[in-house]
Structure 1
Amino acid sequence: MKSSVVRSSAIHRFVAAAATAASLLSMGLAHAAVPLPSLNIDKTQITVSGLSSGGFMANQLGYAHSSTFKGVGVFAAGPYNCAGHSNYTACMYNATISSSALNTMQADLNNWSGTAIDAKSNVASQKVFLFVGLSDTTVGPNPMNAVQTQYLNNGVTAANLEYVQRSGTAHVLPTDFDATGNNSCGSSASPYIANCGYDGAKAVLTKLYGSLSARNNSPAAANYIEFDQTAFSTNPGLAATGWAYVPANCAAGQVCKLHVALHGCQQNYATIGDKFVRNTGFSRWADTNNIVVLFPQTKVDSTSRSTAASGLLPNPNGCWDWVGWYGSNFAQKAGTQIAALKAMVDKVSGGTTGNPGDPGNPGDPGTPATCFTASNYTHSVSGRAYALYGITYANGSNQSMGLWNIFVTTTLKQTAPNYYVIGTCP
């Protein structure tokens, strides 16, 4: 009698969960944000790149945390802390940045080295990729020339620095494939992603990591994760959620690389949807090259704020902070957005190192993993998964397993303590 009551109660919960999920699906809300997972990341293979304000932020991260980021890609941006001393307009619109201005920025790097930022000597060993379109009037070649000069002045060798200037290309993240909603290569317009016959994602990842395996043009939808950013910051310029692409083998515990891809102004998820996440090509190359990609997200901030050298300004385009909206230390480790991004990197790279064969000792390749095949409900009550808004997620990897009920059956593989992935055991 007791077992019948329990089963009846469970079935009612399943029906309620299914109804909730169906309702959420009809409203477009079924995909809920999950905690950012901790993965098995090779900490010598952490890199960053970005376009426009994302390029400025990538540059800032690379200098501020030079001991963490081993490579930096800058698409159409300007030199470190340029807007810390000049109105932001003097750092873009193809403005010429003088040697005197670069000397002032260099004084910051010299004075902050080892305190407000990591030791600047680390920069000399970074691999650097630079790109600008010669038809780009939003930022343009002149500020990018200053970025190159600044890296060379800080010891980056010619062999470690690649600088591409491409004709017929405007202010865009260039690709070599068409994608729905993208703009033309010669147009600096939303979503600032265009088929230019040049694979920007491949170019930057190749420079930072070496030769790549052929890309997968259809990366699995299940490998895209929307994660909770509020765990890392409540900064008014950061969205509540960000995105990550986690290849299945990385989710299963294999040692992987980590790349942070930063969108530009008017490129956040709230403005252009998933175009930067899916249409730029990063996930295509990540899928076949053991690379986890973080796509952190900004949001529009219409409040006018005092900036470092540009007066009182709002942030209506959802730009990354390269002008000091959120404090004069915006380019330092203590800068609000830099600190949040570093915390995300630390979280996702905080997993175990070694072979995922043994859930008790991921470094032991000799013990097979343990698999559990059960309903999604059973997985959740057994502590292998959890339910959120009627959807089930695997503990640890946060992979979506589908509806939370007794009718959907999933095989989970345990690859580490309290870490499960969708898969099978040999």
Structure 2
Amino acid sequence: MANDVVQLGAYQVKKGQSSVSGLSSGAFMTVQLHLAHSASFAGAGIIAGGPYRCAQAYRQGAIYAQDAYAQGALYICMSPLTERTAPDAERLAQLARDTAAQGLIDDVDHIVNQRIYIFTGSEDRVVASMVVARTRRFYELLGARDILYDDTQPAGHAIITRNPEDSQLPLNQPPYINQGSFWQSHAILDHIYGRLKPASAQLTGSFVRFDQTEFFAGEPRASMSPYGYAYVPRAVAEGAPARVHIALHGCKQGYAYVDYVNGRPDQGNNPPYGNRYFTTTGYNELADANNIIVLYPQAEGVDDGRTQNPDGCWDWWGYSGSDPQAPDYYSRDAIQIKAIHGMLERLGG
């Protein structure tokens, strides 16, 4: 990887052929980004994520909406006690239609012919499988016709690879990258785009480290890192037509993740795995052989009086909103969604 920090560039990207996937908070953000800008995408991949605006299932839980949504995220969207307390897919599908009618997101009819990959591991103890099943139901209610739903793997809360050095399949612990029998990144891209060419044995392209701050104007409440990353195949750099896939890491997986102790970052004990999501999860090798740019936006932990996001999660419950009574984390104008889509636009998608 080059040491330079550059401005994200533009390429010959095919319009409407971009896609997005993510794990955990990245999966919840995948659903939000997909709904907000569905006209830009051909499909989405969701690993252990809940339906759109899931955290708003129970508004009456606290005086401030932001607090209520945080409680909803924990007790409804991650670990509901029973099926009856899991997210209401019917209500959230209607909420998505209403949000589109207000002009805050794209028309949900764009989703009908798109390809959706949804996964939950049977050993996941972080985001319950019953929640992920509601995500499938949510997309069915919006008319999605091509959903690949996989709940057959005895996997913990993780993206699955075939790397022998990754964690054991059933584990639920950082870095949330577990070894299994297949490349999950390949399964996602193969489902979205149809059977692709086999992955490259050796990468031909290059990683780009770019300045993310221009896409969120350096606003601290964005809880995004100074830098983002992209993998650009050599053929694409030389002018070949391309597609873009946005890969969103989960909590504790960004390059800048540090543990917070008593509200302060423990800089002396940084975990050694911050670059693994964008280097070892298999996206780049398959993308290299198929002229796909892989964009890796980066969230960053913040824990202060204004923003409580110590684990560096993407915002799917409202911590980045400027108004605590009506936090906007789900629309085209939400600070993180706007930033990520701005990166996609810059690339040409």
- TM-score normalised to structure 1 length: 0.70
* Structure with greater contact order relative to length (CA < 8 Å, sep ≥ 6): 2
1:348-363 matches, cutoff 5 A: 348-349=347-348
Per the TM alignment, residue 150 of structure 1 is displaced from its structure 2 partner at its CA by 0.3
* Cα separation, partners in 2 of 1:315 and 1:330, compared to 1, 3 Å: same
How many equivalent residue pairs?
Answer: 310
Q: Residue 277 of structure 1: SS of its match in structure 2?
A: coil
Does residue 102 (structure 1) correspond to residue 89 (structure 2)? The answer is: yes
TM-score (structure 2 length as normaliser): 0.85
Measured in 2, the distance between the counterparts of 1:218 and 1:101 equals 45
Amino acid in structure 1 at the alignment position of 2:12: N
Map 1:325-344 to 2 at 5 A. 325-327=319-321, 328-344=327-343
- Aligned pair in 2 of structure 1 residues 131, 94: CA closer, same or farther (>3 Å)? farther
Q: CA RMSD in A?
A: 1.8
Residue of structure 2 in register with 1:238 after alignment: 224
2:63 alignment counterpart: none
Residues 222-301 of structure 1 mapped to structure 2, 5 A cutoff? 223-233=206-216, 234-236=218-220, 237-271=223-257, 272-301=273-302
Query: What's 2:5 paired with?
Result: 33
1:111-260 equivalences under 5 Å are 111-114=98-101, 115-157=103-145, 160-179=146-165, 182-220=166-204, 223-233=206-216, 234-236=218-220, 237-260=223-246
Q: Which has the higher strand share?
A: 1
Structure 1: 5+ residue stretches without partners: 1-28, 306-312, 351-426
- The equivalent residue for 1:67 is 39
Structure index of larger Rg: 1
More moved, 331-340 vs 100-109 = 100-109
CA distance in 1, matches of 2:318, 2:164: 36
Question: Offset at 1:49?
Answer: 0.3
Contact kept? 1:97, 1:142, Cα under 8 Å: no
For the Cα contact (< 8 Å) 1:75–1:131, is it kept in 2? yes
Aligned partner of 1:314: which letter? Q
After TM superposition, which residue ranges in structure 1, 4 or more long, deviate above 4 angstroms? 97-100
Contact 2:209 2:227 (8 Å CA) reproduced: yes
The one of 18, 21, 26 aligned to 1:54: 26
Identity score, percent: 32
Task: Name the SS of the counterpart of 1:283 in structure 2.
Answer: helix
Report the equivalent of 2:62.
none
The equivalent of 1:406 in structure 2 is none
- Residue 214 of structure 1 contacts residue 288 of structure 1 at CA under 8 Å; is this kept in 2? yes
Cα distance, 1:348–1:97 mapped onto 2, change above 3 Å: farther
* C-alpha deviation, 1:342, in angstroms: 0.6
2:55 pairs, out of 74, 83, 94, with 83
How far apart, in 1, do the equivalents of 2:159 and 2:225 lie? 22
* Secondary structure of the corresponding residue to residue 304 of structure 2: strand
SS at match of 2:17: strand
1:167 offset after TM fit, Å?
Answer: 3.0
Report the CA distance between 1:85 and its aligned residue. Answer: 3.4
Q: Per-residue displacement from partner, 1:205-260 (whole Å, max 9, x unpaired)?
A: 0010011111123324x611111101101243100000000000001110011100
